[in-house]
Amino acid sequence: MTMIGHLIDGVMREDAARTQDVFNPSTGAASKQVALASVETVEEAIAAAQRAFPAWRNTPPAKRAQVMYRFKALLEEHADKICEMIGEEHGKIAHDAAGELQRGIECVEYACGAPELLKGEHSRNVGPGIDSWSEFQALGVVAGITPFNFPAMVPLWMYPMAIACGNTFVLKPSERDPSSTMFIAELLQEAGLPNGVINVVNGDKEAVDVLLSDERVKAVSFVGSTPIAEYIYSTANANGKRCQALGGAKNHAIVMPDADMDNAVNQLLGAAFGSSGERCMALSVAVAVGDEAADTLVAKLEEAMKPLKVGAYSDRSNDFGPVITRAHQQKVNGYIDSAEADGCKIVVDGRNPQVEGFEDGFFVGATLIDNVTPEMVSYKEEIFGPVLQVVRANSMEEAMQLINDHEYGNGTCIFTRDGEAARYFSDHIQVGMVGINVPLPVPVAYHSFGGWKRSLFGDLHAYGPDAVRFYTKRKTITQRWPSSGVREGVSFSFPS
């Protein structure tokens, strides 16, 4: 069975003292094994990054950008292979994997602009013969800890910009689907990145805790569940590190009575069930304003869900694939069971679908649940599966209050034809990413991604302009060259 190891100082290595199976979620069978890094292995990766930092820091930004240009070309050249790897280990259908990869490539494109983004600021003659300027300098060794649901895109949110800014990087990807992440890192080496600038260690909590405690690591980026995000953030801060930790979500869509209902239904289907709902931006709750709108919405959703196909990643005609593990399949089914026990109506039941030829796969079909209320466990918690819940509200204000009261504040949207309502919604909703008739308001690469409340721990969002600030530290220099022959007296006043 193939063993996936670690990339340290430009060399692929195996640290096979501890291993874990990597499953194909479409078949339910173990297809590979991944080595789980020991403390010593992670420390070696950090040491390699630290050795590489001085030379890479002093590499001109334009030369760093040239590596990123070549990297982008290699990603596009090998896109089909990367998408196949994602499908084999995550279960995403090819078209979904291609969309994920493209979003990652856009972040590489943004990193290609490092010479412009790192120019700094300059002011001449802030005082007599005095100039002042700010520079954005690299931090040193930085780390990323990334989730299973976007094995290509989320790492590409992090290390292209970190490296373009002059840092060196240690990546700890998800051990559930590591192949595409490792292959992409190898492509970056092929693009001309010096050894040690990017290092990849596969592992579990043992590896994570080394990254959080080692004083050579100056900053940590994380994407995952809220409990782990909170742990990462508090531990990193306690060890003096800069940290951004993106957590979970429970994203609501308000459907107003005046909405284009057919369009709203189509948008909700893709946003709720794409990637089997395993997206932190998945729309998992539709809040219908008024019973008439709710009845219409549920009826149209039920009808539109009939032809949806769940199945193996290898069949491009499928709409979405399996969830990541058998345990997660059982967890998602448990939330559906819970909603049913709480008195909800299971309009479309996706529990235990039969997928011919893949009977042992980790499949959950598209599920629609009506009459959900805020006190239910299935409403409060992130399901992270292909489940869409419908909550009924009497007014837009009541619908907005539901969203503002929830502990998560990642993404939200409103479906309406009323510009005044849309403007009020975007002004007053307590959520970090907002869509107006856009169900997945994921910012483009030259903006930044991040939620509010318990969806983000830290001040700076991921990728885009915030990434430049996160992966650099500002140094402000004030310079004066006195005129020759001019002797000045002592001044004890504060300079002005």
Please tell me the predicted confidence (pLDDT) of residue 20: 95
In the chain (496 residues long), the average pLDDT of successive 10-residue segments reads 95 88 97 96 98 98 98 98 97 96 98 95 91 96 98 98 98 97 98 98 97 98 97 97 97 98 97 96 97 98 97 94 98 98 98 95 98 97 97 98 97 98 97 97 95 96 96 95 75 78
Please tell me the predicted confidence (pLDDT) of residue 489: 75
Please tell me the predicted confidence (pLDDT) of residue 493: 81
CA distances, 372 to each of 209, 223, 288, 345 (Å): 39, 28, 11, 8
- Residue range(s) in the chain whose domain bears CATH number 3.40.309.10: 251-436
Q: Is 92 helix (H, G, I), strand (E, B) or coil?
A: coil
Tell me the two tokens of residue 20: 């874990």
Q: What is the DSSP letter of 347?
A: E
Neighbours of 419 (CB within 10 A): 9
Give 229-238's long-range contacts (Cβ < 8 A, gap of 24+).
229/456, 229/457, 230/454, 230/457, 232/145, 232/208, 232/457, 233/457, 233/458, 235/209, 236/212
Please tell me the predicted confidence (pLDDT) of residue 30: 96
> Are 392 and 371 a contacting pair, CB within 8 Å?
yes
- Residue range(s) in the chain whose domain bears CATH number 3.40.605.10: 2-247+455-477
Please tell me the predicted confidence (pLDDT) of residue 496: 72
The superfamily CATH assigns to domain 2-247+455-477 is: Aldehyde Dehydrogenase; Chain A, domain 1 (3.40.605.10)
Please tell me the predicted confidence (pLDDT) of residue 481: 86
- Give the Cα separation of 339 and 334 in Å (integer): 9
- Continuous H helices in 112-178: 114-117, 153-164
Q: Tell me the fold of 251-436.
A: Aldehyde Dehydrogenase; Chain A, domain 2 (3.40.309)
Please tell me the predicted confidence (pLDDT) of residue 209: 97
> Are 421 and 256 a contacting pair, CB within 8 Å?
yes
Answering whether pTM is above 0.85, one says yes
Please tell me the predicted confidence (pLDDT) of residue 128: 85
Active site residues: 280
